[in-house]
Every structure is written in structure tokens, then in C-alpha cells.
């Protein structure tokens, strides 16, 4: 046959077989594989882009460049060339006045594009309902925090003076998307339009102004701008992106991405098992066809090409259908959880669709080719002697080939060689141990067979007789269960860890600037209102100037000089005890207060100590107000920055800093329904600064909910894939079972006996698979915990009992359900159909 003839003949032959359902199982396995791949691909792609966008809302852009001098036009031009959107803000401190009242405020002027990401939230009345807007105030208007109104004793609509200009106070500002974590130094915020800034005549050469330029757009462009800025930044200028600014969020995101990568990988592995299974089945069912075609004169290469053409067609169809199903599934998923998602969800990209299509070919050809190659070597003599089967392929070729395929796929898919090798080595160990284990078990069972109840023996003998097939089916179920367990174990662990990061009663309010003489009254107020509050921390502002008498400029490298701990004043505190959530890593905590004449001890946060190359025993010089003072490092400690409590880089021994200017800070949790009590607090303590953290807390919680949801839905896909694998594996031995069942019934066995046989066979297989699955999952999860997720691993003992029993039930049920045809179909019909 010429290639053209083959191209015409193969689809026709396929179409005829298609009509009779020959391809259903294989195609189904392929569709499930591609659908779960593309659905997970689209879903995690879109949701992780949404999460990044949402998280970027917290810094107001994808990239933020801040400077103590006006930012040059060159930077903006560069951004424009790269196609990035940009917005700018200026921040400075000044006095706002109304009538006789004055207050120190932090003014922020914003350009028309502000905010690039997220939204500003405002209210029309004090502690009233918030609404989100995506612009700043219009010209002549000013938005201000509630406490400015309180201090100046104003109502909305009144006039307020800043520099040479008069503004109308028309909204209360409750939330800025780019406020971030740095709220200690805030004086109450007021916001004006950038165009109004010049007229105030406040910003003069030499004034202290913080300039910020925010950028948003395509991630490649952001990346190149970031690089460009790195090379052009001057001292006092800083580039910030998400990773740097919100370690907790970016950590959650990166773990979620790793998890999704893993879940898709396991879905893929399941698919591979299913496809290899149905591929082998398909090929075995075509020995006769192949022999007949050869007998009628087709050549070996004709056979090979005909089946290759069919496989390619099948891969194409499976790729298309799988993509459609995956697309529909992710659409449905997004609809289900639309309440939790940002309104403008990023649209799907072509990448998952294209990779799904490619995967369809790779997986189908890769995992069925060894079986299909055997079709080529079927002897035409098989038409006369049915027992002639093609020579078995070498196990090395089949399993070695599959292992290499899987490894390439995993590597390509996750881009993570550690992950790939962990899973691969784990699986290899499991497979080898399981193979030996199953063989030993089979030997033990056949030795024990005479002592089994008579009614069970036939089923078990069945299982033993199909040893080869039983081993591979047990392995397939075992791997399936293993993959699903890995996903379940990791999900549980990750979700618990994340949800633990922010308890429901995490402090949602911060109080700054409590004066020394107010602390007693303040504590009484908190107690009388029954508010759950943390301890009060004293705060001293100071700048770290020297380490061991060496100026910081000489002590640290050029990059570290830009660290915010050096570029601005630090919040310093003292405490008799180690603050909660802090862990002592090195050195010792002090006992009691510092005595006069002794140098003060200080405990330094670990990451800062690392960056600034500070160790226990180093002498640090600080500058506060008008004088230098010294402390010696007595310990290094870790800090949980994301616990929403006041956290400090430097904690001092009490007693030594009493004479430095000090204010106190506090954090507490207040239910949203009790917000009105804040008005009482502001009335009694007009000079305090009250920060509401609900918005940020909610944002972080939303991110965690999204991540959790993504993970749970991905779990569903993996479970669905696993179930189809189970069914396809059982189905592939169905013909033999049908024929045998029919024979046994013809010979007089009743249905009850057959049913018991089926149950004992499938449940036995399920139990063994469950054991393999648990063992494998434990090995792999232990590896992953240690190497990838950096979590400590505790074996899940309950699984060892529960999973094998559950899997015995499940496989038993699936087996019996799909074998019911054996019981229902008249034996004559089975024999005749299978004969034809």
C-alpha cells in the first residue's frame, strides 16, 4: 500500500471501529487526561495570575520605584517604551489647619492614573459603609482620615487649609491600596490631586518628600524595567516588588504554585497509567485484525503505519475534545466561585490549550507505541493458530521507555528537577518493593489457598491464575491511590498551615502614639470596653549608624546599603520577655533590667542580622534625637512578620532607654459591629493614631481562601482522573472475564458463586493496591515535605488501615459493577460475541 492509500484506509478502518465503540475507553482515558491537564492549566494559570494581581494591589502596582528626590523623566520614558502603565505619588509631612485647630498630617498627592492596581476606599460618613473607587480626589477636594476630622472638629463639606491652598473635605479615606506594611510612622493621611500640589507652595527645594512611581503591565516588561532600574538607581532610591514587600503572601503563592504543579503532574501520571493500560488492551484486541490484514496481503509497515495514523487521529480528536472539556470544566469552576474572585479575572491564555494538544500526542504515542509495535510482529499464521501471540517486548524497553517518558514530561511540566526526581525515585522504590511484595504475597496466598473457605477459593484462584495481569492491575490501582493520597496529604497540610497564619481574632486595629502619661488610662479604657488587646510596646525612633565603631556605609555592601533599616529610622522597643511568636536562635535572653554602668543588651531580628552582617557580641551605635548611644548584641531571634502584631527588628533590655523620647503602641481585635466604640476612643485620646487593618486582613484572608479553593478543586480533578483509571483498568480485562464467566456459568456455576468470586478477587486486589498506595504516598510526601515545602513530616498512621480497606471496598465495588454484564448477559450471547 502506498502512503496515500494508507492515509485513506486507516481513517476508514478507524471510523468503522469507532462506530462499534472500539476506541471509547482509550479515547475516554485520553480526554480525561487532557481535560484535567487543560482545566488545571487554565484554572491555576488564571487564578495564580489573579492572585498575583490581587497581591500586587497591596503595593499598588507590579513594581514600585521610590526615591527621596523627584524621579527623572527618563524612568517614565523607559516605562512608556516598555508599554507599562505608570502612576505617581508624592508624600510629605505638613500642617493642616481649620480655624484655630491644627494637625500634623501626611499629605499624599496622586496622579490621575492612581491607583494602578486595587482601589481606594472611602466613606461618606464616619465609620459608615465603604465604597471602592479607582481614582483619587478631583481638583480642589481633599480626602482625609477620620481622625483629621476629629482633631480639627470638622464635618464633611467644611474647608481645610494646606499650605497656600484651601480644599473641601468631601470624603473620609479608609483604605489606600499601596499602604503596605509600613504604618508605624503614619501621621493621619490626607489625599489631594497631583495638579493641586504646586499651588500649596509647600514642596520647595530641600523639602523632605517621598516620591513614588508605580508600574503595571506585562510581566516581561516589568521584569526588564526592574533590571533597568537596578542599573540606574541611585542611593536613596529603592525598587520594590511583591516578593520583597509581602513575604507572607508571596510565600503562600509560591507554595500554591508548587502544589498545583504537583497536582497536574500527578493527574498526568494517572493519565499515563490509564493510557498505557487501554493502549495495551487496544493492541491486544487487534492481534486478530492485524493477523488477518497480514494474511490478506498487508505488509508489516502497512500495519504499523495504519495504526500510527489511527493513533495520531485519535490524539488529535482526544486533544480537541479534552481541551473543550477542560475549558468547560474551568469555566464551570470559575462560575461556582465567582464571588471570591476579582471582577476582572485575567482571561485564559493559549498556553494550556496548546500544551494540552501537544500532550495528547506525546502521551498517547509515548505510552501506546510499545504495544502498537507488537501489532507489527503478529504472525499471519495466527489466523490458523489462534494461540500465536507476538513475542513480548523486553521489559526494559517498555518500563524503561515509560520511565524516561514520564521523567521528561515531569521535568518539562514542573521545571523542577528536585520535584521530578523525588517523585520518580519514590515511585521506583515503591514499584520495586511492591513487585517483590506482591510476588511474595501471591506465593503466600497460593500456599494458604487450601485453608481458605471453599466459596472464596475460586475467586482467589482466579486472581492467582491471572498473575501477570493481576500484578500490573494491582500496580496501576496502587499508583493511582498513591497519587491521590499524595495530593490529599499535601492539601490538608498546606491548608492547615495557611489558615493557621491568620487566626479569626488576629488584631485588626493598631494604636500608635500613646503618650507615657496616657498608658494607664488607655489600659483602663480597653479593659472597661472588654476589648481583646495585646501588650503595650514602647517605641523609640532611632537610626543604626555604626557596627563596632565602623560607620554603616563601610560595614555593609553596596546593595545592602539601600535596605530600609538604614535608609530610615527604626522603631525600637524594649521588653522584659521574648515577644510572642518570636524564637530565640542564638545567644541568651536577658534576666531583669539593665543596671547603670553596664552596656545595654539588644536582640536583633535574624534576617536583618544576616543582611547587615551583625552577630552576637557586636557593638551597635544608634542615633536618636540629638545623641548617640550604644548597645551590645546579646541574641538573634526570628520574627513571624505576618501575625499582624507589632513586630520589631530590635528589642532592648528594659531600663536603659527610659530617658529617650518614647511613645507606646498597641494592637487589638474589635468586631466590625463594635466600630462605633472607636469614636469614644478617639474622643478620650485625641492625640493617638488609630489604624484600621480590616481591609488588609481581609485581603490576605481572601487570598488564602482562593488558594485553598484552587487546591481543593484541583484535588477533584485528580480524584476524577483516578477513578477513570480504575474503571479503564478493570474494563481492559473484561473480555477475558466475560468469556470465563460465560464458561463457568455454562458449566453450572450459579450467580451467587460468581458474585462471591468477583468480590473476593477485586477486593483482594483493592486491598493490596491500597497498601502499595499508602506506602508510596508516605515515602513521596516525606521527601516533598523535606525538600520542597520545608515542612516537618509526621506519618499518617490512620491511612495504613483506612486506605487499604477503603480501596478494597472501592475497587471491589467498581469491579463488581463493571462486571455485572457477566452475570446479566446470557452465557450463549457472551460466547458468541467474543467468538466473532
Partner 1 sequence: MKPGKPNLQLVDAENQANIESKEAASSLDHHRIIQVDGVNRIVDVAGEPLQILHEVDLRVSRGETVAIVGSSGSGKSTLLGLLAGLDLPSSGKIELAGEVISAMDEDARAAVRASNVGFVFQSFQLLPNLTAAENVALPLEILGKGEATALSAEILKRVGLEERQTHYPNQLSGGEQQRVAIARAFVTKPAVLFADEPTGNLDKNTGDLVADLLFELNAENNTTLVLVTHDSGLAARCDRQVGMESGRLSEKIAS
Round to the nearest angstrom and report the end-to-end CA distance of the chain: 27
Residue 387 as a binder of partner 1 (CB under 8 A): the answer is no
Residue 734 as a binder of partner 1 (CB under 8 A): the answer is no
- Site pattern 751..770 for partner 1 (x: CB under 8 A): --------------------
C-beta of 10 vs 275, nearer to partner 1? 10
User: Which range binds partner 1 by CB under 8 A, 58-66, 169-177, 378-386, 649-657?
Assistant: 378-386
C-beta of 1 vs 709, nearer to partner 1? 1
| Bond before 115 cis per omega within 30 degrees | yes
Distant-in-sequence, close-in-space partners of 11: CB < 8 Å, separation ≥ 6: 309, 310, 313
Residue 665 as a binder of partner 1 (CB under 8 A): the answer is no
Q: Which DSSP helix (H) or strand (E) runs through 667?
A: strand 663-669
Choice from 82, 93, 295, 813 touching partner 1 (CB under 8 A):
295
Residue 302 as a binder of partner 1 (CB under 8 A): the answer is yes
State how far the Cα of 460 lies from the Cα of 444, in Å rounded to an integer. Answer: 12
C-beta of 279 vs 812, nearer to partner 1? 279
C-beta of 16 vs 532, nearer to partner 1? 16
Smallest distance from the beta carbon of 386 to partner 1, in angstroms? 8
Residue 836 as a binder of partner 1 (CB under 8 A): the answer is yes
**Hey, which bits of 534-652 come out as E strands?**
537-547, 550-551, 570-574, 583-587, 600-605, 619-624, 627-638, 650-652
Smallest distance from the beta carbon of 285 to partner 1, in angstroms? 10
User: Which range binds partner 1 by CB under 8 A, 197-205, 295-303, 596-604, 812-820?
Assistant: 295-303
Choice from 288, 505, 524, 610 touching partner 1 (CB under 8 A):
288
β-strands 600-605, 583-587 pairing: unpaired
Smallest distance from the beta carbon of 301 to partner 1, in angstroms? 7
Distant-in-sequence, close-in-space partners of 469: CB < 8 Å, separation ≥ 6: 733
CB 322 within 8 A of CB 24: no
Residue 527 as a binder of partner 1 (CB under 8 A): the answer is no
Residue 786 as a binder of partner 1 (CB under 8 A): the answer is no
Residue 604 as a binder of partner 1 (CB under 8 A): the answer is no
For residue 345, how many other CB atoms are within 10 A of its CB?
A: 14
Q: Tell me the sheet residues that pair with 636.
A: 586, 604
Residue 641 as a binder of partner 1 (CB under 8 A): the answer is no
- SS3 assignment for 782-821: HHHHHHHHCCCCCCCHHHHHHHHHHHHHHHHHHHHHHCHH
CB 23 within 8 A of CB 368: no
Q: Which three cell numbers stand for residue 129?
A: 459603609
Smallest distance from the beta carbon of 835 to partner 1, in angstroms? 8
User: Which range binds partner 1 by CB under 8 A, 141-149, 159-167, 251-259, 286-294?
Assistant: 286-294
State how far the Cα of 300 lies from the Cα of 566, in Å rounded to an integer. Answer: 77
Choice from 11, 22, 232, 529 touching partner 1 (CB under 8 A):
22
From the centroid of its chain, how far is CA 779?
Answer: 22
Distant-in-sequence, close-in-space partners of 148: CB < 8 Å, separation ≥ 6: 96, 103, 105, 154, 160, 188, 190
Closest CA to 705 of 237, 341, 434: 341
User: Which range binds partner 1 by CB under 8 A, 17-25, 215-223, 420-428, 756-764?
Assistant: 17-25
Smallest distance from the beta carbon of 286 to partner 1, in angstroms? 10
β-strands 650-652, 141-144 pairing: unpaired
Residue 391 as a binder of partner 1 (CB under 8 A): the answer is no
User: Which range binds partner 1 by CB under 8 A, 81-89, 381-389, 491-499, 591-599?
Assistant: 381-389
Q: Which DSSP helix (H) or strand (E) runs through 436?
A: helix 417-448
Smallest distance from the beta carbon of 17 to partner 1, in angstroms? 4
Residue 314 as a binder of partner 1 (CB under 8 A): the answer is no
Q: Which three cell numbers stand for residue 291?
A: 493477523
From the centroid of its chain, how far is CA 388?
Answer: 53
Distant-in-sequence, close-in-space partners of 269: CB < 8 Å, separation ≥ 6: 406, 410, 423, 479, 483
Q: Tell me the sheet residues that pair with 213.
A: 65, 88
Residue 17 as a binder of partner 1 (CB under 8 A): the answer is yes
701-706, long-range: CB within 8 Å, 24+ apart, which pairs? 701/502, 702/54, 702/340, 703/51, 703/54, 703/55, 703/249, 703/252, 703/253, 704/252, 704/498, 704/499, 704/501, 704/502, 705/340, 706/47, 706/50, 706/51, 706/54, 706/340, 706/341
State how far the Cα of 132 lies from the Cα of 135, in Å rounded to an integer. Answer: 9
Smallest distance from the beta carbon of 749 to partner 1, in angstroms? 25
State how far the Cα of 543 lies from the Cα of 551, in Å rounded to an integer. Answer: 12
User: Which range binds partner 1 by CB under 8 A, 19-27, 192-200, 333-341, 640-648?
Assistant: 19-27
CB 248 within 8 A of CB 113: no
User: Which range binds partner 1 by CB under 8 A, 28-36, 219-227, 292-300, 614-622?
Assistant: 292-300
User: Which range binds partner 1 by CB under 8 A, 7-15, 231-239, 423-431, 793-801?
Assistant: 7-15
User: Which range binds partner 1 by CB under 8 A, 40-48, 254-262, 284-292, 566-574?
Assistant: 284-292
> Binders of partner 1: how many residues, by CB under 8 A?
35
Q: Which DSSP helix (H) or strand (E) runs through 831?
A: helix 827-835
C-beta of 2 vs 496, nearer to partner 1? 2
- Site pattern 243..282 for partner 1 (x: CB under 8 A): ----------------------------------------
Choice from 198, 358, 384, 440 touching partner 1 (CB under 8 A):
384
Choice from 119, 199, 354, 383 touching partner 1 (CB under 8 A):
383
Q: Please list every residue from 796 through 835 that binds partner 1, using CB under 8 A.
A: 832-833, 835
Q: Which three cell numbers stand for residue 742?
A: 460465560
User: Which range binds partner 1 by CB under 8 A, 290-298, 533-541, 662-670, 791-799?
Assistant: 290-298
User: Which range binds partner 1 by CB under 8 A, 63-71, 122-130, 298-306, 525-533?
Assistant: 298-306
Residue 468 as a binder of partner 1 (CB under 8 A): the answer is no
Residue 676 as a binder of partner 1 (CB under 8 A): the answer is no
Residue 375 as a binder of partner 1 (CB under 8 A): the answer is no
Q: Would you tell me which residues interact with partner 1 (CB under 8 A)?
A: 1-2, 5, 9, 12-13, 16-17, 19-20, 22, 288-289, 292-302, 379-381, 383-386, 832-833, 835-836
Amino acid at each position: 500500500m502506498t502512503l496515500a492509500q494508507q492515509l485513506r484506509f486507516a481513517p476508514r478502518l478507524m471510523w468503522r471501529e469507532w462506530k462499534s465503540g472500539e476506541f471509547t475507553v482509550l479515547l475516554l482515558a485520553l480526554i480525561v487526561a487532557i481535560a484535567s491537564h487543560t482545566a488545571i492549566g487554565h484554572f491555576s494559570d488564571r487564578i495564580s495570575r489573579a492572585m498575583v494581581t490581587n497581591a500586587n494591589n497591596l503595593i499598588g502596582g507590579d513594581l514600585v520605584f521610590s526615591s527621596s528626590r523627584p524621579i527623572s523623566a527618563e524612568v517614565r520614558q523607559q516605562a512608556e517604551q516598555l508599554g507599562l502603565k505608570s502612576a505617581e505619588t508624592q508624600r510629605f509631612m505638613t500642617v493642616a489647619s481649620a480655624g484655630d485647630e491644627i494637625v500634623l498630617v501626611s499629605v499624599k498627592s496622586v496622579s490621575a492614573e492612581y491607583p494602578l492596581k486595587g482601589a481606594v476606599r472611602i466613606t461618606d460618613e464616619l465609620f459608615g459603609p465603604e465604597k471602592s473607587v479607582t481614582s483619587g480626589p478631583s481638583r480642589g477636594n481633599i480626602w482625609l482620615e477620620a481622625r483629621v476630622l476629629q482633631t480639627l472638629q470638622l464635618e464633611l463639606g467644611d474647608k481645610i487649609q494646606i499650605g497656600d491652598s484651601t480644599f473641601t473635605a468631601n470624603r473620609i479615606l479608609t483604605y489606600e491600596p499601596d499602604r503596605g506594611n509600613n504604618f508605624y510612622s503614619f501621621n493621619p493621611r490626607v489625599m489631594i490631586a497631583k495638579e493641586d500640589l504646586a499651588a500649596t507652595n509647600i514642596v520647595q527645594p530641600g523639602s523632605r518628600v517621598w516620591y513614588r512611581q508605580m508600574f503595571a503591565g506585562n510581566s516581561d516588561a516589568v521584569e526588564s524595567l526592574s533590571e533597568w532600574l537596578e542599573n540606574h538607581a541611585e542611593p536613596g532610591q529603592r525598587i520594590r516588588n511583591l516578593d520583597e514587600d509581602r513575604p507572607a503572601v508571596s510565600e503562600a503563592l509560591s507554595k500554591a504554585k508548587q502544589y498545583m504543579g504537583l497536582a497536574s503532574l500527578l493527574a498526568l501520571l494517572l493519565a499515563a497509567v490509564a493510557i498505557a493500560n487501554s493502549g495495551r488492551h487496544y493492541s491486544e484486541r487487534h492481534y486478530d485484525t492485524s493477523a488477518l490484514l497480514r494474511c490478506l496481503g498487508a505488509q508489516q509497515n502497512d500495519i504499523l503505519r495504519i495504526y500510527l495514523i489511527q493513533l495520531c487521529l485519535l490524539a488529535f480528536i482526544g486533544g480537541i475534545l479534552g481541551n473543550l472539556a477542560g475549558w468547560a470544566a474551568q469555566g464551570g469552576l470559575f462560575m461556582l466561585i465567582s464571588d471570591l474572585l476579582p471582577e476582572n479575572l485575567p482571561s485564559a491564555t493559549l498556553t494550556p490549550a496548546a500544551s494540552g494538544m501537544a500532550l495528547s500526542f506525546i502521551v498517547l504515542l509515548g505510552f501506546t507505541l510499545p504495544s502498537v509495535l507488537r501489532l507489527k510482529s503478529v504472525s499471519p499464521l495466527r489466523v490458523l493458530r489462534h494461540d500465536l501471540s507476538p513475542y513480548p517486548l523486553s521489559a526494559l524497553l517498555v518500563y524503561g521507555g515509560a520511565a524516561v517518558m514520564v521523567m521528561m514530561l515531569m521535568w518539562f511540566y514542573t521545571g523542577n528537577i528536585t520535584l521530578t526526581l523525588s517523585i520518580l525515585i519514590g515511585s521506583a522504590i515503591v514499584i520495586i518493593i511492591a513487585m517483590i511484595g506482591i510476588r511474595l504475597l501471591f506465593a503466600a496466598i497460593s500456599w494458604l489457598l487450601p485453608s481458605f473457605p471453599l466459596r472464596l477459593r475460586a475467586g482467589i484462584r482466579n486472581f492467582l491464575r491471572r498473575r501477570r495481569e493481576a500484578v500490573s492491575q494491582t500496580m496501576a490501582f496502587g499508583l493511582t491511590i498513591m497519587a491521590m493520597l499524595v495530593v490529599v496529604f499535601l492539601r490538608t497540610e498546606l491548608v492547615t498551615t495557611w489558615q493557621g497564619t491568620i487566626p479569626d481574632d488576629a488584631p485588626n486595629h493598631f494604636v500608635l502614639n500613646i503618650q507615657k502619661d496616657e498608658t494607664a488610662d488607655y489600659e483602663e479604657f480597653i479593659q472597661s470596653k472588654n476589648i481583646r488587646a495585646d501588650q503595650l510596646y514602647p517605641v523609640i525612633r532611632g537610626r543604626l549608624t555604626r557596627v563596632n565603631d565602623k560607620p554603616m556605609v563601610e560595614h555593609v555592601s553596596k546593595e545592602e546599603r539601600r535596605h530600609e533599616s538604614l535608609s530610615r529610622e527604626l522603631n525600637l522597643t524594649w521588653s522584659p520577655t521574648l515577644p510572642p511568636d518570636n524564637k530565640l536562635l542564638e545567644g541568651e535572653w536577658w534576666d531583669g533590667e539593665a543596671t547603670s554602668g553596664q552596656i545595654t543588651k539588644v536582640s536583633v531580628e535574624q534576617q536583618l542580622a544576616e543582611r547587615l552582617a551583625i552577630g552576637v557580641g557586636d557593638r551597635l551605635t544608634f542615633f536618636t534625637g540629638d545623641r548617640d548611644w550604644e548597645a551590645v548584641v546579646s541574641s538573634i531571634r526570628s520574627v513571624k512578620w505576618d501575625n499582624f502584631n507589632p513586630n520589631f527588628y530590635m528589642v532592648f533590655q528594659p531600663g536603659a532607654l527610659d530617658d529617650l523620647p518614647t511613645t507606646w503602641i498597641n494592637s487589638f481585635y474589635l468586631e466590625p459591629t463594635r466600630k462605633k466604640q472607636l469614636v469614644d476612643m478617639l474622643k478620650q485620646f485625641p492625640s493617638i493614631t488609630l489604624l484600621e487593618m480590616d481591609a488588609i486582613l481581609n485581603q490576605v484572608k481572601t487570598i488564602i481562601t482562593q488558594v485553598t479553593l484552587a487546591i481543593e478543586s484541583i484535588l477533584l480533578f485528580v480524584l476524577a482522573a483516578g477513578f477513570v483509571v480504575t474503571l479503564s483498568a478493570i474494563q481492559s480485562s473484561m473480555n477475558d472475564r466475560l468469556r470465563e464467566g460465560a464458561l463457568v456459568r455454562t458449566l453450572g456455576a450459579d450467580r451467587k458463586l460468581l458474585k462471591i468470586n468477583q468480590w473476593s478477587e477485586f477486593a483482594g486486589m483493592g486491598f493490596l493496591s491500597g497498601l502499595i498506595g499508602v506506602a508510596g504516598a508516605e515515602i513521596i510526601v516525606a521527601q516533598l515535605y523535606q525538600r520542597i515545602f520545608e515542612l516537618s513530616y509526621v506519618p499518617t498512621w490512620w491511612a495504613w488501615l483506612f486506605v487499604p480497606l477503603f480501596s478494597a471496598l472501592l475497587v471491589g465495588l467498581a469491579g463488581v459493577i463493571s462486571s455485572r454484564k457477566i452475570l446479566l448477559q446470557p452465557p450463549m450471547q457472551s460466547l458468541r460475541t467474543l467468538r466473532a
